Copies of this chain bind each other. A is one copy, B any other.
Amino acid sequence: MLCVNVELKERRYPIHIGANLLKDTTVYPLKKGDKVMIVSNPTVAEYYLPELTETLQAIGCQISKVLLPDGEKYKTLDSLNLIFTALLEENHGRDTTIIALGGGVIGDVAGYAAASYQRGIPFIQIPTTLLAQVDSSVGGKTAVNHALGKNMIGAFYQPVAVIIDSMTLNTLPKREINAGLAEVIKYGAIADADFFQWLEQHIDELVALNQSTLQTCISRCCQIKAEVVARDEKEKGERAHLNLGHTFGHAIETHLGYGNWLHGEAVAVGMMMAAVLSEKLGKLSKQEAARLEKLLARANLPTLSPDSMQAQDYLPHMLRDKKVLGGKLRLVLLETLGRAYVASDIDNQAVLEAIRTCSQPDQ
């Protein structure tokens, strides 16, 4: 079992990573008599709720649960309210711990519920998708969507512990695994050249779900994200680097309608666009951009813009992104493989060219 500590100004908390942690009573910061509310969805609950329940019973917890409908479109204030209703119907007070069992959607909604219920109750994350394990469960961002915008309502709120059971990935659809690998590759690209190289050596094992390789990988990603977050908890500076490829990616997701491409797939293409733009600006070398492309392809990720999207479709979306300050496009680009920087004052024409370079040849 691996353990990464997240160090924040007010508090530190552990991220445990290992096989079969769902069954391991020792990693839960809970004791006999503690009350918990498990938040999950029917898909994940069917696989893992019995196991988790058994473990919590062994600890001696009083267990309540609430299942939200599965899917990004249920990441709403209404789902949030289902959690509050369940908490109040069963008389839960400020000493109840919310446990999120699921992917990023469950983690984000349950985390925001924990931040808000009676102005804040303890919260444990048990992320069950690769994306949630390497990204959404670390860093304390919680949110729900509004009809007019994604993740528009939320809080910064840290869990008391994150418990990552890598065995849960065995039931995750392959396409979701690959989407998670896009974020994994992102960490190497923005912050850690050695890790990028390690990924080039181990990507096939990750795709094949080799447990020990997965654990090493997840732990390194959590560490990188935890370090960035510890240095910049409220997202004022360096944390922006985590958005490599995301401004392009969001344009793809919005244009195609959320859910047609997975987030990680859109980010993969977005990272290639950022890499090509970095190359055009004289930062990244041609070889480095090619290495990124190859690694993404080996993770079965797309590296070209969707067929149905033209280069000029991108900019309007990108200029509406919430990272835009005062109408000016700011993009995370690569200095080199392993080091990101934030560029403002970028010529829109150069952006368009980078998008074209990453488009299907016949456009």
Contacts and interface: CB of A to CB of B under 8 A. Distances in A.
A155 B120 CA distance: 7
B148 A119 contact: no
Specify which of A95, A116, A120 lies most central, judged by the most chain B CB atoms within 10 Å of its CB.
A116
B156 A119 contact: yes
A118 B84 contact: no
B119 A143 contact: yes
- Chain A contact-residue range equals 20 to 34
Contact of A88 (B116, B141, B152, B156): B152
A55 B325 CA distance: 26
A362 to B, nearest CB: 36
A153 B84 CA distance: 8
Contacts of A322: 93-94, 118
A77 interface: yes
Contacts of A156: 119-120
B116 A146 contact: no
A85 B148 CA distance: 7
Interface of A: 77, 80-81, 84-85, 88-89, 91, 93-95, 115-120, 141, 143, 146-149, 152-156, 234, 320, 322, 325
21 contacts: A77-B77, A84-B146, A84-B148, A84-B152, A85-B146, A85-B147, A88-B146, A88-B149, A88-B152, A89-B148, A93-B322, A93-B325, A95-B325, A115-B155, A116-B116, A116-B153, A116-B155, A118-B152, A118-B322, A119-B155, A120-B155
